[in-house]
C-alpha cells in the first residue's frame, strides 16, 4: 500500500505551473513593471516641465509689474 506522503512526493508536479509558463508569467510581470515605470517617469517629466514654465511666467510677471526692463 502506498502512503499519502509517497503520493505527494511521486505526484508532486501535478498542479504546479511548468517552467515554460512560469517564465512567461515572469517576463510578463517584468514588461508590465517596465511600462508602469516608464509611465511614471513621463508623468513626472511633464509635471516638472509645467512647474518650470509656471515659475518662468511668474518671474516674468513679477518683473513686468515691478517696472524693471529686461
In this structure, is residue 60 part of a structural domain?
Answer: yes
Number of structural domains found in the chain: 1
Tell me which residue of 19, 20, 2 sits closest to 11, measured CA to CA: 2
In the numeric block, the cell 514588461 is attached to 31
**Structural domain harbouring 37:** 17-65
Angstrom distance (rounded) from CA 56 to CA 54: 5
Mean pLDDT in residue range 17-32: 89
- pLDDT score at 18: 76
Using one digit for the tens of pLDDT, what is the confidence trace for 33-67? 999 999 999 999 999 999 999 998 888 877 777 65
Overall pTM surpassing 0.85 (yes/no): no
- DSSP annotation string for the chain: ---HHHHHHHTTTTTSPPHHHHHHHHHHHHHHHHHHHHHHHHHHHHHHHHHHHHHHHHHHHHHHHTT---
Amino acid at each position: 500500500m502506498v502512503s499519502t506522503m509517497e503520493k505527494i512526493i511521486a505526484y508532486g508536479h501535478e498542479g504546479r505551473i511548468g517552467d515554460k509558463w512560469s517564465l512567461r508569467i515572469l517576463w510578463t510581470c517584468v514588461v508590465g513593471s517596465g511600462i508602469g515605470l516608464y509611465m511614471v517617469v513621463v508623468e513626472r517629466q511633464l509635471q516638472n516641465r509645467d512647474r518650470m514654465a509656471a515659475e518662468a511666467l511668474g518671474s516674468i510677471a513679477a518683473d513686468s509689474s515691478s517696472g524693471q526692463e529686461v
